[in-house]
Structure 1
Amino acid sequence: MISARLSTTPLWLAACAAIAITSGWLVSQVTVSDPGIAALIAATAAACLALAVYGFATTRDPLSPLPVLSLILFVLYVARPAYILASGRIGPTRRLDDELLSGPLYAAMQGACGLALLALGCLALGHASYHFVDPVGRGAFRATTARISALDRRRVAGGAALVVLAVTAALELWGYGTLIAEAGGVAAYVESLSARSSVFFGRGYLAQVGLPLKAVALALLAAFLLRPPRGLAWGAVLGGAFVLVMVGDFLTGGRAALLIGTLVPMVLLFHYLRAPLRLRTLAWVVAAALVFFVGARVATRDSTYEEAVGGSVVSQTVAQLKTLPETTLGGRDATPFDSLAMVVRARATGLEWQYGSTYLPILTFPVPRFVWADKPAGGGNTWFTRELYPAYYYQSDGAGTEASLSMLGESYANFGPGGVAIAFFVLGFFLAAVYRRMVAAASAWPVLWWAVTLPYVITLIRGDAFHSVTYWALSSALVWLAYTTLVRRA
């Protein structure tokens, strides 16, 4: 009986947090004489901490959904607005478009902070609503590996796996080789990545030729973590496949492809299928990711646009690491808060709700542009940039350069505060359900799917649904196909 599994504590905790956070949002809407942005930022920081503590207290898992998302939301909606207040400048696109803070912008930031509080409350309540019905035992994730090893007797079909690895590796080499040859060499291609929207416009399939290899490599990694193969041959083969995957991720020009699309799934698979990672190990992983994050930006963007700085990529990277957080929070990487504030300001001056129109291009995504030349371009990011920053959008030849709108900004632009409440409630409910299934898994597939899903949730929080949902669906299908085809019952 399901009633025997009910646990009211998580629901009461989340309900209290949601009421407190929603009350903060309501206060922010009626406090017009003094925006009190610093107080709202502090309240958002407290809400992120409460959400992380609640998530960890109910699971004892540092990589469960709420602790991970709390960190992302803290960077975007606490650290970034605090940096804006300290610097006095705000803007979601290039530095030339930055604006000095003024009365209307303070009011817009107030509204954005209030919406962030509302989102946090609804995320907690949605998560607790599922957890109330089907709770996760504290520390249950620690037993996942042993249970799957005992119940799932699948093994890798060696010959077939080698053939598929070779074919998908050849596909990736062909795709990026074609782009590099057209650019005139590796150096010219890497330099062109600073305007990758033009490089890949109409040929997005070439930017994704590495996805099949990544899907196969992740499926094999999941199987081998449970039952390591004998000898070093398979380790060398799989290691080489991941090196090629990472090179391909770098050649897309987006750091998220490597950090979130490859590194995070690998970490999650090790955490749940090999042995739980300690906090110290996770701290080292985050530090290494930060170094790569800055270095990749220097190599693909700053070295092109900031030639006056001079020096090698390594020296520029070291210089930027020494000036953190200015080179991260002060750059273009944490600007979804800026975008949300600009939508709030535009709404105050007459911008109409979009009523779901930015989500519709998800349905047309699978159709290649060479088949449908007039296919609608992009989703929320495209709409936001083209509507509010047309000069920035049209700065690239043949394609628009986009700024990140974020899940919060897109749901607000479409349906207002009600859209924010529903979107984040559904997200919390969905994450609790998928995580619960993963923790109780009897085979590696739910863990593998979770390792694919959580990274795309992170990109959804920062970006738009068009990119995140479509690539999540495509990646999930490819990983499922690879796992069911290459990992068979013994």
Structure 2
Amino acid sequence: MIEMALIAQTLVVILVTVAFVSTGTASMFHPLTLYLVFHSLVFVMRPILVHGAGFDNAWLFMGYWPDAQQFVFTLIVSSVALIAFSLACASAGHVRPDLSKARTFSFDRTDIVAFLITTALLAPLAIYSAIQRQGADAFSGTGDIQMERDPMTGQPVYTNTTGYIAEAHSMGLPLTLGIIWVSRFHPLSFIPFIAFVGFRAYLGWGRWAIIMGILGLVLLMLYRTRTRWFRLWHVAVGLPVLAIFTTLGNNRGALKDVITGDAPFSSIFRMTSHDGGRMIDALANQDLANFDFLAFILWVVPGQSATYTYFTQYLQLFTEPIPRVLWPGKPVGAPIKWVQLHDFGNFANLTTSLPGDGWMSGGWLGLIVTMAVVGLILGKLHRWFWTKGFVNRYGVLFYCAFLPLSLQWFRDGNITIVKFSFFSLLPILLWIGLTRALHAWGILEDDPLRPGAPRRVAPQKLVPRNIVRSP
């Protein structure tokens, strides 16, 4: 029964992909492309490995093992989520990308001054946050940033700082991408981005930021080269990055051990453990285990919980912005908790995924509503980009920095997209605001490079007329 369901699951994603490509709107700039990649990894490849390769680490961690009927039901729910999202996103974002109209942007002095001010204001905070995060384990009580795990929800909570400082390091990504964009891909402009990615890999945490940062850079490069899809060299570069991502998932200190000389360089790409385990077991960690987590959610809600959340988890949007240092009694997570997954198993630090979050909100209805609403939002954003944003030098950077964040939205569900977007888009929004303010205040209006500036005509050299003398 499971084998037939896995075949059907694969056929569904193939049919959706073929239908999507046939519309002529498909490209790496479409949110549906990213969801198809996400779905294929966590709801097609993962269950195949769980069933065929015996991946049971997630089951052991949660203390839950599904039977064959629950396994198949999880596949069905994920396929329905895919169809609902695809229909909404494809219809709302039905615009054929026309990169022939893409522009080669130039930046005037006002743009550059505004970006330098933005960097001067935010970069010190991002660097300070990154330095704070490189200390000892946050849960050991010895690091500069300390955390503890809430026993009721299993979620980590900062105890000696606020998330505004602890997570400010995420601003390094849009700032370094902005340097590349404003410098128009000058070779030296890549140095801050490489340093940011290398530092995150060295620390071992924030691996998803590495993936999203590289994806954002690739989107900018695709726009610059008027290309809709990855090229072969992009794939060639991406494979080692994915290998490092997997290695850091199994050993957060892998790159640090190589740099300090405690491990050989080849260990970064080692796909087997020292005890001679199978190479495929390197993929058994929790990074792509949303299928396993979804199966647990479908078992809990409403069978064990006897209720749904009825979208109350989104009330956290109103409580999350308040720092805990100002509100010591602030609820961990949503202020109203109709369902606590941690009550029925070990769900500490795990993610619900967007389909799981929708199912918790109201079963089949909650699933379809959640997937359709998110699909509509991202589809509308795609339509905006190809009708207005792609000819705007700020809009291109904004879209290419935001679109990769949707992967985190698909994986985490809930309100995490708002938190990630705050730090990832704040530098760009501040840059736009400062640029407009400088223009409104008339500062740097003498810049000859600004749009609409009058052209200076060089004075013509007076040439004396030939004088014809009469004989």
Pick the TM interval, shorter chain.
0.7 to 0.9
Deviation at 1:70, TM superposition (A): 0.8
- Go from structure 1 to structure 2 and tell me whether the alpha carbon gap of 1:286 and 1:379 turns closer, same or farther (over 3 Å shift): farther
Q: How does 1:81-230 map to 2 (within 5 A)?
A: 81-88=47-54, 90=56, 92=58, 95-97=60-62, 99=64, 105-131=67-93, 135-137=94-96, 140-146=97-103, 149=105, 157-180=111-134, 200=158, 202-225=161-184
Task: Indicate conservation of the 8 Å contact 2:204/2:253, yes or no.
Answer: no
2:342 pairs with one of 386, 405, 430: 386
Give the SS at the match of 2:330: coil
Aligned residues of 2:26 and 2:33 also touching (Cα < 8 A): no
Aligned counterparts of 1:440 and 1:377: Cα–Cα separation in 2: 41
- Equivalent residue runs for 1:13-24 within 5 Å: none
TM-score, with structure 1 as normaliser:
0.73
Aligned length: 414
SS in 2 for 1:366: coil
Conserved? CA contact 2:200–2:210, under 8 Å: yes
1:79 equivalent in structure 2:
45
- Equivalent of 1:455, from 386, 392, 404? 404
User: CA–CA distance in 1 between the matches of 2:61 and 2:40?
Assistant: 26
Aligned ranges 1:217-296 → 2 under 5 Å: 217-225=176-184, 235-236=187-188, 238-247=189-198, 249-250=200-201, 251=203, 253-260=205-212, 262-276=213-227, 278-296=230-248
Query: What is the CA-CA distance between 1:417 and the residue it aligns to?
Result: 0.9
The answer to whether the Cα contact below 8 Å between 1:219 and 1:482 also exists between their aligned partners in 2 is no
Distance, in Å, in 1 between the alignment partners of 2:81 and 2:352 is 15
CA deviation string 1:408-457 (max 9, x = no partner): 11110111111111121222222222112212333123322322332221
Structure 2 vs 1, CA of residues 221 and 486 (structure 1 numbering), >3 Å: closer, same or farther? Answer: farther
Distance in 1 between the 2:200 and 2:110 partners?
25
The alpha-carbon deviation at position 402 of structure 1 amounts to 1.1
Deviation at 1:161, TM superposition (A): 3.5
**Aligned mate of 1:479, from 419, 428, 443:** 428
Amino acid at match of 2:163: G
Partner-residue secondary structure (3-state), 2:181: helix
Q: How high is the TM-score relative to the length of structure 2?
A: 0.76
Cα contact 1:385–1:403 (8 A) shared by 2: no
Q: What is residue 281 of structure 2 aligned with on the other side?
A: 326
Q: Which amino acid aligns with 1:362?
A: L
Question: How far 1:98 moved relative to its partner?
Answer: 5.4
Deviation at 1:354, TM superposition (A): 1.0
Give 3-state SS (helix, strand or coil) of 1:360's partner: helix
Residue by residue over 1:390-413, the C-alpha shift from the partner in whole angstroms, topping out at 9 and shown as x without a partner, is xx46xxxxxxx4111111111101
Distance in 2 of aligned mates of 1:175 and 1:473: 15
SS in 1 for 2:403: helix
Measure how far apart 1:385 and its partner are.
4.8
- C-alpha deviation, 1:174, in angstroms: 2.3
- Please give the alpha-carbon distance, in whole angstroms, between the structure 2 residues aligned to 1:60 and 1:347: 35
Cα root mean square deviation, aligned: 3.7
Counterparts of residues 416-455 of structure 1 (less than 5 Å) = 416-441=363-388, 442-455=391-404
Q: Is the 8 A contact 1:127 1:431 kept in 2?
A: yes
What is the alpha-carbon distance in structure 2 between the residues aligned to residue 193 and residue 144 of structure 1? 49
Whether the 8 Å contact between 1:172 and 1:213 is mirrored in structure 2 is yes
Letter in 2 for 1:48: V
Change (3 A) 1:332 1:40: same
Aligned-partner Cα distance in 1 for 2:238–2:247: 14
Aligned partners of 2:221 and 2:318: how far apart in 1? 34
Match of 2:300 among 321, 330, 346: 346
CA contact (8 A) 1:62 1:68 kept: yes
Decide whether the 8 Å contact of 2:300 with 2:341 is kept in 1. no
Q: How far is 1:111 from its partner?
A: 1.7
Unaligned runs of 5+ in 1: 1-35, 305-310, 394-400
Structure 2 stretches of 5 or more lacking a match? 257-261, 440-449, 452-471
Q: Verify the 8 A CA contact 1:362 1:466 in the aligned structure 2.
A: yes
Equivalent pair of 2:46/2:289 in contact (CA under 8 Å): yes
Structure label with greater radius of gyration: 2
Return the offset for 1:194. 13
Q: Deviations over 1:98-128 (max 9, x none)?
A: 5555xxx322222211111111111222124
Specify whether residues 338 and 175 from structure 1 end up closer, same or farther in structure 2 by C-alpha distance, changes over 3 A only: same
Distance of aligned partners of 1:222 and 1:387 in 2 relative to their CA distance in 1, 3 Å threshold: farther
Tell me the SS of whatever aligns to 2:205.
Answer: coil
Quote the Cα distance in structure 1 between the aligned partners of 2:245 and 2:349: 20
Bigger helix share: 1
Deviation at 1:269, TM superposition (A): 1.4
Q: Which residue does 2:315 correspond to in 1?
A: 360
Give the SS at the match of 2:415.
helix
Tell me how far 1:45 sits from its aligned partner.
1.5
- Which amino acid in 1 is paired with 2:41? V
Contact 1:45 1:78 in 2 (8 A): yes
CA gap 1:244/1:200 in 2 versus in 1, 3 angstroms: farther
How big is the shift at 1:200?
4.8
Aligned residue number for residue 373 of structure 1:
328
Whichever residue aligns with residue 379 of structure 2, its letter is A
Q: Report the Cα distance in structure 1 between the residues aligned to 2:341 and 2:217, rounded to whole angstroms.
A: 33
Q: What is the CA–CA distance in structure 1 between the aligned matches of 2:108 and 2:333, rounded to whole Å?
A: 40
Amino acid at match of 2:246: V
- Tell me the residue number matched to 1:51: 16
- 1:48-102 deviation per Cα after TM superposition (whole angstroms, max 9, x unaligned): 2222233333225244222221111011111111112124454647x4545555x
The alpha carbon displacement at 1:38 in A equals: 2.3
**Structure 1 CA distance for aligned equivalents of residues 15 and 325 of structure 2:** 49
Amino acid at match of 1:243: I
Distance 1:203 1:299, change over 3 A: farther
Retained in 2: the 8 A contact 1:404–1:462? yes
SS of the aligned residue for 1:469 comes to helix
1:428 alignment partner, SS class: helix
1:92 touches 1:403 (CA, 8 Å); kept in 2? no
Say which SS state the counterpart of residue 76 (structure 2) adopts.
helix
SS of 1:210's partner is helix
- Return the alpha-carbon distance in structure 2 between the equivalents of residues 480 and 299 of structure 1: 36
CA contact (8 A) 1:353 1:413 kept: yes
Q: Residue type matched to 1:68 in 2?
A: L
Separation in 1, partners of 2:426, 2:118: 16
Letter in 2 for 1:37: I
